[in-house]
C-alpha cells in the first residue's frame, strides 16, 4: 500500500506505463501468496504459486528502481521500499525451501 500511495503522485503520462505496471506487480505478490496458501494441501502447487509471488516481487523491485531513476521516488523512499521487497522475497524463498513444513498432512483437504 505504501507503494500504491507513492504512485498516486507520479506524472499522468506514466499512468498506463510505470504506474500501472508497479501497481499490478505489487498486488500480484499478495494475490499469488493467497493462492499459494489456498493450495497448501498440494506441495508442488503451493511452491509454484510462491515462486510466482517471488517473481512478481522481483518485478516490483525493478519498477521501484525505474521510478527512482525517473525522479518519481525519493532515494530514501525507494531504498525503504526495496528493503521491504527484499524481505518479502527472503520469506517467500524460505517458504519454498521448507514447503513440506507448510504443507503438512494436517493442512491437506
| pLDDT tens track for 24-69 | 999 999 999 999 999 999 999 999 999 999 999 999 999 999 999 9
Task: Indicate the average pLDDT of the chain.
Answer: 93
80-104 b/e with 16+ CB inside 10 Å = b? Answer: ebbebbeebbeebeebbeebeebbe
- pTM exceeds 0.85 for this model: yes
* pLDDT exceeds cutoff 70 at 107: no
Rounded percentage of the chain residues whose pLDDT exceeds 90: 86
| Cα torsion 23, 21, 38, 55: sign | negative
CA of residue 87 relative to chain centroid, distance: 10
For residue 50, give the C-alpha cell: 510462491
How far apart are alpha carbons 40 and 32 in whole angstroms? 12
Amino acid at each position: 500500500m505504501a507503494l500504491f500511495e507513492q504512485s498516486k503522485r507520479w506524472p499522468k503520462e506514466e499512468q498506463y506505463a510505470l504506474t500501472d505496471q508497479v501497481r499490478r506487480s505489487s498486488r500480484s505478490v499478495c494475490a499469488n501468496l493467497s493462492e499459494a496458501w489456498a493450495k497448501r494441501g498440494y506441495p508442488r502447487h503451493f511452491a509454484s504459486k510462491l515462486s510466482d509471488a517471488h517473481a512478481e516481487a522481483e518485478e516490483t523491485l525493478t519498477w521501484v528502481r525505474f521510478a527512482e531513476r525517473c525522479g518519481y521516488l525519493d532515494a530514501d523512499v525507494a531504498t525503504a521500499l526495496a528493503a521491504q521487497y527484499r524481505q518479502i522475497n527472503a520469506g517467500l524463498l524460505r517458504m519454498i525451501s521448507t514447503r513440506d513444513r507448510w504443507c503438512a498432512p494436517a493442512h491437506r483437504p
